[in-house]
Structure 1
Amino acid sequence: MVKKKVSPIKSYKLKNGDLRYEFPAYLGVDPLTGKQKRTLKRGFKTRKEAELALARIKLDVANGTYQQERAETYQEIYDLWVKQYEKTVEESTFVKTTGLFKNHILPAMGAYKIEKIHVDVCQKHVDEWAAKLKKFRMVKAYAAKVLDFAIKRGYIQTNPFAHVDLPATASKKALVNDDDEAENFYTREQLIKFLSCLEQESNYKAYALFRLLAFSGMRKGEALALTWNDLNFTTNELRINKALSRGKDNQLYVKSTKTGVARTIKMDDKTMAVLKEWKKKQKQDYLVLGFNTLQPKQLVFSNEHNEYMQPTKTRKWILHVQDKYKLSTITTHGLRHTHCSLLFEAGASLKEVQDRLGHSDVQTTMNIYAHVTKKAKEEAILKFANYIEM
């Protein structure tokens, strides 16, 4: 009796219930490794279609004419690029980048044949991103990276994104937004009022955290990753060598600082006294919750489970105080801008401010300096007008 041959073609269902067919296929021997090459072909709408495709592959392999399919679409090139990209960046950066692709770039360009993408197509999408996204330049830059990767792999010769014009209206809009961002800080008087109001509240942890941010210029993630052994109460020094960030699956984890460089900064007596007082309160408060906070790697600011605080918590705290006492609204990050601005007003040099805040690019420091200079000029003309009294 002749044994019936089992077909390698199998059926499977899509999420919407539609039926599709797939099959494994032998592709011959890889001349580079000497090992057998196999692949899985799927997505066929009928069994007949799958049978024909399998027969073609078998014939091409037997004749030595089979060529492995190359990536054809932007999505397929992206899938190759993103595997390499993940090895070169921090987990938090990878998560943010893949989010940009998922939400903006792939829905727009994913289905395009890679060799058919031209400058007009790229211009169209840049215009669309510019109309709705504040950081459209970043989106455009990442979209272009995939095509740069395609050039390296020999799929295309030039990158059409290199010839795109940035929309003039979007540029103006960006300038307005930059000005808005520049206002995200307190003056000396506003900061004193803010901290005074905060001190009256029952949340001493929030007061200690915001006081630290305002008087150190630390990034919020750096403050939330601090452990008590990073503080030296004898020398009034603070060691900043890590930061809390959000990685895959929305999980919090500790990474290096934004620039990857650790720094040690001097602190004032009052802020260190506030932190010392918080250390005592933390010990008492957390003992009630069943935690010993005298461990060497105890977090300075932790949640009720003595684990990493959710970074979003500070927004609730700062808005509560601003609303309650009718204060000007700034973000938690605005306290970093505040520190930078007041350092310049106090006479600190560009290099001193750059080192203290951990800016890798002096241009970032200079942008804030330019705003402080503008404020000083405005104050100068007011003093002049008051002096003349006309």
Structure 2
Amino acid sequence: MIMTKIIEYTAKGKTLYKFNFYAGKDELTGKKMQVRRAGFKTKKEAQLALSRLEYKKESGEFEPLANRNITFETLALQFMDAKKASLRKSTYLVQRNMLNRILASLGNLKMKNIRGYHCQNAVNRWSKKAPATVSNIKILANQVFEYAIKNGYITKNPMDAVIMPKKPAKKRENNYYTKQELNEFLTFVKQDRPSLYPLFRLLAYSGMRIGELLALTWDDIDLEASTVSITKTLSRVNDEGRTTIEDTKTKAGRRTISLDAITINILASYKQEQSKRLFSLGILNTLPKPLIVFDRGIGSSYSKAQGERFVRVSDIRRYLNSMYKRMPKDFKHITLHGFRHTHATLLIESGANIKAVQQRLGHANINMTLGIYAHATKIMENEAINGLSLYMEN
């Protein structure tokens, strides 16, 4: 262990004290790290300052740091590149888009200069512009700082000082149809766009995610056994909107579910019509097998690239929004995910077992199913009390 000497010297006729503290060796450059201090009026003051430095060294604050001038952006891009192989392509795209928001706030700052107030100001901005995803954005930024610590660029995480803004009050969840509303919706679709009626029927009567449904090929549907196997999902993988097929998000997402007889008959008829259409276009025997259930619809849309042959989620969302404009103004609007919520709610209202609902929806965590269960049972409770009131009055 190198002992640090406190040296007495004279400056402008005054006796002062100084020392040269050895803080360790930079493993990257091989150079010694020296901390020089001078101008102490007494030896006791110099000794106190030296003790503080020795404590910092013991606690690891003088660990050799790699390239202390590196910016947040440079390191964040390194982090995302390292992380890419462990993520689904669609998840990587989502996180890469979140990173763009982070870089707008912190990207130009040097890692060594970022303080808690920089992070707090950034989180406050994200909270205003992206309240629904601010927590996820903050988590990603935090991961970049932790990566920086593990790789020797900084010693402390400035995100630790952040106080998360209060979340806005959550709007009441109403993204589902009642039995009557669903029947009215499907009746309208059947008349307005018959070619899409099978898609919306299957979406509402299976509880599948829209990405799972659009990834289906005919070998996934067993018309004789009245089942559909869900093993993959359609994902957007770049900013241009190109799509690809990926495995389901979780192991629980891989499942085989039963379909009702009416839906099976609708799909069987749709399959026959699809074959006739593709045959008339002269491409039935040229397309890769198995055929996609819900394809782009016309021959010119097909490409050798598998992903380009699939209907995109944005295509269906666009149709849904345009259809709402043609429906009565007071008809409820729900999202594509709302059909999944509708299916789960109607299952529970019809008396389905909560575990069966979880397995059918492919929920990895039963708490997700319980949230829908609590909502559905509240509806049932209201109907029950209204029924009691009518019973007592008659």
Q: Give the TM bin, normalised by the shorter chain.
A: 0.7 to 0.9
Q: 1:70, CA displacement in angstroms?
A: 5.2
Task: Give the equivalent residue in structure 1 for 2:205.
Answer: 215
Q: Following the alignment from structure 1 to structure 2, what is the Cα–Cα distance between the partners of residues 84 and 226?
A: 32
Q: Following the alignment from structure 1 to structure 2, what is the Cα–Cα distance between the partners of residues 79 and 265?
A: 41
Q: Following the alignment from structure 2 to structure 1, what is the Cα–Cα distance between the partners of residues 288 and 333?
A: 37
Task: Give the equivalent residue in structure 1 for 2:237.
Answer: 247
Q: Please tell me the root mean square deviation across aligned C-alpha atoms, in Å.
A: 2.3
Structure 1 portions without partners, runs of 5+: 1-29, 32-66
Task: Give the equivalent residue in structure 2 for 1:267.
Answer: 259
Q: Secondary structure at the match of 1:254?
A: strand
Decide which structure has the larger Cα Rg and report it.
2
Cα pair distance change 1:120/1:383, threshold 3 Å: farther
CA contact 1:204–1:278 (8 Å) conserved in 2: no
Cα pair distance change 1:270/1:384, threshold 3 Å: same
Q: 1:282, CA displacement in angstroms?
A: 0.7
Task: Give the equivalent residue in structure 1 for 2:140.
Answer: 142
* Percentage of matched positions with identical amino acids: 34
Q: Following the alignment from structure 1 to structure 2, what is the Cα–Cα distance between the partners of residues 140 and 369?
A: 31
Deviations 1:318-369 (A, max 9, x none): 2343332323111111111111111111122222111111111222212212
The within-5 A match list for 1:1-390 is 69=67, 72-102=70-100, 104-133=101-130, 134-168=132-166, 171-173=167-169, 175-176=170-171, 179=172, 182-201=173-192, 203-248=193-238, 249-260=240-251, 261-292=253-284, 296-303=289-296, 304=298, 305-306=301-302, 307-326=309-328, 327-389=331-393
Deviations 1:114-166 (A, max 9, x none): 12222222122111111121211111111111011112112223323234222
Deviations 1:57-82 (A, max 9, x none): xxxxxxxxxx9845622112102201
CA contact 1:73–1:112 (8 Å) conserved in 2: yes
Cα pair distance change 1:333/1:91, threshold 3 Å: same
* Farther off after superposition, 372-381 or 252-261: 372-381
Q: Following the alignment from structure 2 to structure 1, what is the Cα–Cα distance between the partners of residues 119 and 146?
A: 14
Q: Following the alignment from structure 1 to structure 2, what is the Cα–Cα distance between the partners of residues 68 and 153?
A: 8
Q: Secondary structure at the match of 2:224?
A: coil
CA contact 1:129–1:136 (8 Å) conserved in 2: yes
Structure 2 portions without partners, runs of 5+: 1-27, 30-64, 303-308
Cα pair distance change 1:126/1:389, threshold 3 Å: farther
Q: TM-score, normalised by structure 1?
A: 0.76
Cα pair distance change 1:277/1:70, threshold 3 Å: same
CA contact 1:229–1:296 (8 Å) conserved in 2: no
Q: Secondary structure at the match of 1:333?
A: helix
Q: 1:172, CA displacement in angstroms?
A: 2.8
Q: TM-score, normalised by structure 2?
A: 0.75
